[in-house]
Amino acid sequence: MFIMAHRGASGFAPENTMAAFKKALESDADCIELDVRLTKDGVPVVIHDSHIKRTSNGGKQFIHDLTLAELKTYDFGAWFSPEYTGERIPTLEEVLQLIQSCEMQLNIEIKNGPIIPDDLEEKVLDLVYKYNVNHRVMYSSFDHMRLQKIYALDRTAKIGLVFHINLINLFSYVDRIGIDVFSIHPNYFYITSDMVQQAHNRGIKVNTYTLDDPAWAKKYKDMGVDGLITNRLLNFN
Ligand code: G3P
Ligand code: MG
């Protein structure tokens, strides 16, 4: 199976930090999944939540209300373990620099809310092309309109539709959105053999999130699921 390290090797290091991404590079992961948001001054940064409270020593301050310089003053590692004290929020550019010289693939998940920035997608694409890693990147989101925009800007972009609801007539939707979909990323508990079959009949891969139990991973592998987004199911060199 295609293994994606969710927010980096986030079972072993603080999520969405350079430490977690470096750890993923030392593992057998094929790909790093990370979440991207835009700062107040328009810089794509890597963080899951819309605010910094859970994963830093800051309070409930929104990413879109803070500049990169302000965000860089907070500690994003100590909440996980004292050994990671001093970790800073990474920019997407810093992660692209890290993976530029290796084979690691990237699943860039576009995040938004409570506001939807105008130009996050353009900025992400510009950076991906600046570092010439477009052939190793896929773009995913729960917000499929953001993916529609990426696809409009770059017809070669690999698009992964993330789902956290169990849609009726999923493939009627997939067939009609006007995107040449590379993969669907449903929450694992909605996946059925029929769903996998219908995806594969269309040449679409099925990647699921977020699975950390080896027995469950085997179950979905046997079902034909192509990829796994995981915090912990990584082997280290
Ligand atoms: O790529 C989807 C996966 O990351 C699950 O979503 O909330 O962890 O970004 P989330
Ligand atoms: Mg994510």
Ligand 1 atom 5: residue of nearest CA:
209
Which own/partner pairs from 217-221 qualify as long-range (CB within 8 Å, at least 24 positions apart)? 217/1, 220/188, 220/191, 221/1
Pocket perturbation via mutation, ligand 1, pick of 48, 110, 230 by most ligand atoms within 8 A of CB? 48
pTM: 0.98
Q: Is the CB of 15 under 6 A from ligand 1?
A: no
CB atoms within 10 A of CB 232: 15
Q: Strands, DSSP E only, in the chain? A: 2-6, 31-38, 44-46, 105-110, 137-141, 158-163, 183-186, 205-208, 227-230
Average pLDDT over residues 93-122: 97
**Cβ atoms of residues 133 and 124 within 8 Å:** no
Pocket perturbation via mutation, ligand 1, pick of 4, 35, 105 by most ligand atoms within 8 A of CB? 35
**Percentage of the chain lying above the pLDDT 70 cut:** 100
What pLDDT does residue 237 have?
A: 80
Residue 144 appears among annotated catalytic residues: no
Count helices and strands (H / E) in the chain.
Answer: 8, 9
Residue 164 appears among annotated catalytic residues: no
pLDDT in tens, 218-233: 999 999 999 999 999 9
pLDDT in tens, 119-169: 999 999 999 999 999 999 999 999 999 999 999 999 999 999 999 999 999
